[in-house]
Amino acid sequence: MENIWIVLIAVIILLAFIFLFFKIIHNSSENVYSKKLMKHWPTRLSYWQAIILYSSGATIICISLLKWANVVSF
């Protein structure tokens, strides 16, 4: 049962970072790429791949810091 809470915490942190990075990057990416270009799937795919990659890295760092601070134990 304890592992379910750790996974739930990690998923919540991941979703929070995805939302945060989306809000930060979305407006600047529309300025760099035109709105017409953002409708094409290769541009959108690389955009979402970057958001998920950065969010995953930030989540790993955050979970590592929480483990180091003895907030979570696994």
Q: pLDDT tens digits for 10-69?
A: 999 999 999 999 998 887 777 777 777 778 888 888 889 999 999 999 999 999 999 999
Closest by CA position to 15, among listed 50, 44, 58, 67:
58
How many domains, in total, are found in the chain?
A: 1
CA atoms within 13 A on the CB side of 61: 7
Q: By residue range, what is the domain housing residue 11?
A: 2-26+38-67
Q: Which residues does 47 contact at the CB level (< 8 Å), separation at least 6?
A: 25, 29, 38
Residue 32 lies in a domain: no
In this predicted structure, what is the pLDDT of residue 1? Answer: 62
Residue 14 lies in a domain: yes
3-state secondary structure of 40: coil
Residue 16 lies in a domain: yes
